[in-house]
Amino acid sequence: MIIVHKYGGSSVATTDKIIEIAKYLGEVKDQGHDVIVVVSAMGKRTDALISLAKEITKDPDKRELDRLMSTGEQTTIALLAIALKSLGYDAISLTGVQAGIKTSGFHTKNVIDSVDNNKINDLLKEGKIVIVAGFQGVNSRGDVTTLGRGGSDTSAVALAAALDARCEIYTDVDGIYSIDPRVYKEAKKLPLISYDEMMELAYLGAGVMEPRAVELGKKYGVEIYVGKSLGEKNGTIICAEEKCMEKKLITGISINENTAMVNIENIPTYAKNVYIVFNSAEKNGVNIDMISQNDVTASHGSMAFTCPKTDETALERTITEIKEALPDIKPEINKDVVKISLVGIGMISNIGIASRVFKILAENSISFHQVSTSEISISLIINGEDKEKVAVLLSKEFEI
């Protein structure tokens, strides 16, 4: 059996941790499995690399930023290969390019198009433990690319799909909880979660899994095990809905702190002006999430939208551009907000969830800025300072 293991940043933060992982991988190999290991950059190394570039300029060139960020994972693969070899195991480290991971899209936000599994298959046949740098690939121009933050999960699932392998993701929590256990200590660990619910939680901000990894898992039928301790098997399996026996109304809550809200007041109410705003946002690469508009009948109206806080530079360019086109508008960026979302397949067939959410907010005098819904989720934009209170209240109300 081929097994893909993936170790995130905190799991490989020190050389001691890398040695522990090497010992464990050796045991798995000795049990007769073929082993592929995907690793992230050590600890917060990716953040440190981005900060270095930002010491030079606020808006670093994205092709070169990809080159820079990809070095984080390359350090880890080499160290893990050194550790395995020092223990007497035959191991080889591969960059994303060497592992045949082909990507397309924009630098820093690439998607995996295909994985050429020939080389890895040959190396496995030679009995080697294959160590692959996560988060990176190569585009059609031969440039190094990265897959968006948290993208090593995606590398692991893509490799598991390409090699028909089992996929095990090891991180600093022992499974997927109904809500981030750092925010709500009484959160429950889920033995199983459906692809759709995990995808929705991840897209809405639950940082434990990269959403595109879950999407790939669903597309190629790769079950994803998420856990912590080496050797223990009490984590969470992300799998098809039919396997998830316990049908709860709400499966989980995600909290997305990477949220900024832009209020624009005093816009003359013509559709053309709304187009100016969103066209400029799109050109500058601002990823718009929620949109709301007020007073559409008045001569001037106001609107608001949310986007990732990390799109800040692009957002500032957008604001400058739209102020030039519409000099009388009053835009304001609010970075002190979070998005909190309830997710559950049970929402499809049950009504009254929204009213329970608003009752809780009303009873506790909590204000919100925006609301949006999908078939299986409700999201609210609230003030950052209310984050924990709302998370606990909603967790208790829906017994998650």
Give the one entry of ligand ADP, Mg ion, ligand ASP, none that residue 173 binds, where binding means its C-beta sits below a cut-off of 5 to 8 angstroms depending on kind. Answer: ligand ADP
- Who's near 211: CB < 8 A, 6+ residues apart? 199, 202, 203
Q: Can residue 171 be called a binding residue for ligand ADP (CB under 6 A)?
A: yes
Return the residue of 26, 134, 217, 235 that touches ligand ASP, per CB under 6 A.
Answer: 134
Return the residue of 84, 97, 124, 179 that touches ligand ADP, per CB under 6 A.
Answer: 179
Residues 344, 307: contact at Cβ < 8 Å? no
In this structure, what is the dihedral angle of CA atoms 44, 205, 284, 311, given to the nearest 10 degrees? -40
Q: Can residue 227 be called a binding residue for Mg ion (CB under 5 A)?
A: no
Q: What is the nearest approach in angstroms of ligand ADP to the Cβ of residue 10? A: 5
Q: What is the nearest approach in angstroms of ligand ASP to the Cβ of residue 65? A: 12
Q: Which amino acid is at 386?
A: D
Q: What is the nearest approach in angstroms of ligand ADP to the Cβ of residue 263? A: 28
7 is in an annotated binding site: yes
Sole residue written with tokens 């995990």: 198
7-26 residues near ligand ASP, rule: CB under 6 A: 8-9
342-381 residues near ligand ADP, rule: CB under 6 A: none
Q: What is the nearest approach in angstroms of Mg ion to the Cβ of residue 228? A: 13
Q: What is the nearest approach in angstroms of ligand ASP to the Cβ of residue 72? A: 5
**H/E/C letters for each residue in the chain?**
CEEEEEECHHHHCCHHHHHHHHHHHHHHHHCCCEEEEEECCCCCHHHHHHHHHHHHCCCCCHHHHHHHHHHHHHHHHHHHHHHHHHCCCCEEEECCCCCCEEEEEECCEEEEEEECCHHHHHHHHCCCEEEEECCEEECCCCCEEECCCCCHHHHHHHHHHHHCCEEEEECCCCCCECCCCCCCCCCCECCEEEHHHHHHHHHCCCCCCCHHHHHHHHHHCCCEEEECCCCCCCCEEEECHHHCCCCCCCCEEEEECCCEEEEEEEEECCHHHHHHHHHHHHHHCCCCCCEEEECCCCCEEEEEEEECHHHHHHHHHHHHHHHHHCCCCEEEEECCEEEEEEECHHHHCCCCHHHHHHHHHHHCCCCEEEEEEECCEEEEEEEHHHHHHHHHHHHHHCCC
177 is in an annotated binding site: yes
Return the residue of 96, 150, 205, 252 that touches Mg ion, per CB under 5 A.
Answer: 150
Structure tokens at 279: 């066209």
- Segment near ligand ADP (CB under 6 A); pick from 62-70, 115-123, 174-182, 258-266: 174-182
Beta bridge partners of 92: 130
Give the one entry of Mg ion, ligand ASP, ligand ADP, none that residue 135 binds, where binding means its C-beta sits below a cut-off of 5 to 8 angstroms depending on kind. Answer: ligand ASP
The 46-85 contact track toward ligand ASP, x by CB under 6 A, reads x-------------------------x-------------
171 is in an annotated binding site: yes
Q: Can residue 76 be called a binding residue for ligand ADP (CB under 6 A)?
A: no
Return the residue of 151, 205, 217, 235 that touches ligand ASP, per CB under 6 A.
Answer: 151
Q: Can residue 40 be called a binding residue for ligand ADP (CB under 6 A)?
A: yes
Q: What is the nearest approach in angstroms of ligand ADP to the Cβ of residue 56? A: 26
Q: Can residue 137 be called a binding residue for Mg ion (CB under 5 A)?
A: no
Q: What is the nearest approach in angstroms of Mg ion to the Cβ of residue 358? A: 33
Binding residues for Mg ion (CB under 5 A): 8, 150
Binding residues for ligand ASP (CB under 6 A): 8-9, 40-41, 46, 72, 134-135, 149-152
Which residues fall in the annotated binding site for ATP? Answer: 6-9, 171-172, 177, 182
Which residues fall in the annotated binding site for substrate? Answer: 46, 73
Which residues fall in the annotated binding site? Answer: 6-9, 46, 73, 171-172, 177, 182
Binding residues for ligand ADP (CB under 6 A): 8-11, 40, 150, 171-173, 176-177, 179-182, 206-208, 252
